[in-house]
Amino acid sequence: MAYVFDENGFYTRLANRTIDKVPWSQPIRYQKHGLCVCLNKVAKGLDPGTYTKWAQLSIRAGLIQVGCPSFLAEVLSATSAFGVKQILGTLPYAQLYKTLRVMIPLVCPNLDVCPARTDVVKTYASPFLAEELKAFVTDLRRSGLTGQP
């Protein structure tokens, strides 16, 4: 899980960017686990069993369709995320829901009492998750989309 928790890695930078973009006027900012619940809700909406009717939409439109707040949809679909080309727009929806779930421990103030904890633990317990995350970051690096060598 070094790919998720690397302080200069893709997932940590994405989580930090997400936290920075939460608008102060949103209730998410005032609830201890508001962002965790939001990410988990969007991940559920993008689970392969649910997303098929939105698969032809842009990432931003699909995220909003499943209840994602516009600030988060902007961060996740930004055409200049981290000052480089669009990153998440290249993801299949099936990978996006995993990405959102692995971000939760990075933004969560206390995972032990987080309402999204069960779903996060199930995601992290997947025997193939580490390989998928590593392959995803490797592909992004090859494409020059992470801004890192």
pLDDT in the model for residue 114: 93
Amino acid letter for position 95: Q
Q: How many residues in the chain?
A: 149
Sequence-distant (6+) residues with CB within 8 A of 69 are: 26, 28, 38
For residue 33, is it within any domain?
yes
pLDDT in the model for residue 115: 92
For residue 109, is it within any domain?
yes
Dihedral in degrees, nearest 10, Cα atoms 19, 23, 26, 29: 30
Annotate 112-142 with three-state secondary structure: HHCCCHHHHHHHHCCCCHHHHHHHHHHHHHH
pLDDT in the model for residue 134: 72
**Are 104 and 4 a contacting pair, CB within 8 Å?**
no
Domain count for the chain, please give it.
1
State the residue range of the domain holding 95: 2-143
Mean pLDDT by 10 residues, the chain (149 residues): 78 86 65 84 74 66 81 74 48 70 89 92 82 71 56
Tokens representing 13? Answer: 């930078």
pLDDT in the model for residue 118: 93
pLDDT in the model for residue 83: 43
Half-sphere exposure of 139 (CA within 13 A, CB side): 12
pLDDT in the model for residue 7: 82
For residue 54, is it within any domain?
yes
For residue 123, is it within any domain?
yes
Cα gap 17→81, rounded to integer Å: 9
For residue 149, is it within any domain?
no
